A and B are shown apart, each in its own frame.
Chain A
Amino acid sequence: MTLFGVVCLLPAVYMLVESFVASDGTLTLVNYTRLLSEARQRELLLNTITLGVAASAIASAIGIPLGFLLARLKLPIVALLRIGLLVPLAIPPYVLALVWAFATDYSAVTYSLTGGAIVLGIGFFPLSMLASEAGFRGIDASLEQAGLVIATPRRVFFSITLPLVWPFVSAAGLLVFALSVAEFGVPGLLRIRVFTTEVFTAFAALYDFGRATALAVPLLVITLIAAMIARWIAGERLLATSAGWRPAVWCPHTVLKAAVILWVLAVIAVVTAVPIAVLIANAKHVIANIILSWSAIRTSIVLSTLGATCIVMVGVVLGYGRGRMRSRAHILADLFLIAAFAVPSTVMGVGMIGLWNRPAIPIELYASRLAILMAYMARFLPVAVLIIAASVRQTPRALEEAAEISGAPWARTFARIVIPQIRPSIVGAWIAVFIFTFGELGTTLLVTPPGESTLPVRVYTLIANSHEGEIATLALLQVVATVIPICIFVLGFGRVKDA
Chain B
Amino acid sequence: MRRSLPIGLHIPGDTVLHRLSPGPKLSALMVLSIAIVASPGPIVPVIAFVLAVIVARWVGISRRALIDTLRPLALVMAVAVSYQLWAQGWPKAVEVLATVLGLVVAASIVTATTAMDEMLDAIVRWLGPFRRFGVNPDVVALTFSLMLTSIPTVFTIFGETRDAAVARGMGRSPRATLSPAAVRVVAHAYSTGDALHARGITDPECD
Do they bind each other? no
* Residues of chain A whose beta carbon lies under 8 Å from any beta carbon of chain B: none
> CB within 8 Å of A: which residues of B?
none
